[in-house]
């Protein structure tokens, strides 16, 4: 009796320790804001907290890009 379902061999899962990089934006925005909010520094005419949060968007984007690049290199990203 022929088997209609294709045989799938699952490759061993690689450790994804680089996914911990995705904690950086969380720590940047949630954990550090109470400490940063105490600074009365004004950069130009922009409050330091706004500069800090804007930098957090850039840092978060870089962290997501690095994780995506590592996953793409390892072949873990599905192409649609």
pLDDT digits (tens, 9 = 90+) for 3-21: 566 656 666 666 777 788 8
Q: Is residue 2 part of a domain?
A: no
**41 CB-near residues (< 8 Å, 6+ apart):** 48
Percentage of the chain surpassing pLDDT 70? 78
Distances (CA, A) of 7 to 10, 12, 14, 62, 76: 10, 16, 21, 39, 20
Domain count for the chain: 1
Give the count of beta carbons closer than 10 Å to the beta carbon of residue 63: 19
pTM of the model: 0.66
E-state strands within the chain: 42-43, 46-47
Q: Is residue 15 part of a domain?
A: no
Alpha-carbon span 29 to 33, nearest angstrom: 6
- Give the range of the structural domain holding residue 59, as residue numbers without chain letter: 25-30+44-73
Q: Is residue 60 part of a domain?
A: yes
Q: Is residue 11 part of a domain?
A: no
Q: How many residues in total does the chain contain?
A: 80
Q: Is residue 68 part of a domain?
A: yes
**Is pLDDT larger for residue 62 or for residue 72?**
62
């Amino acid at each position: 009796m022929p088997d209609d379902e294709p045989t799938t061999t699952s490759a061993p899962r690689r450790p994804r320790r680089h996914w911990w990089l995705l904690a950086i934006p969380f720590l940047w925005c949630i954990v550090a804001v109470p400490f940063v909010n105490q600074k009365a520094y004004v950069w130009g005419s922009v409050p330091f907290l706004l500069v800090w949060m804007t930098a957090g968007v850039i840092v978060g984007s870089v962290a997501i890009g690095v994780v995506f690049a590592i996953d793409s290199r390892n072949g873990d990203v599905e192409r649609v």
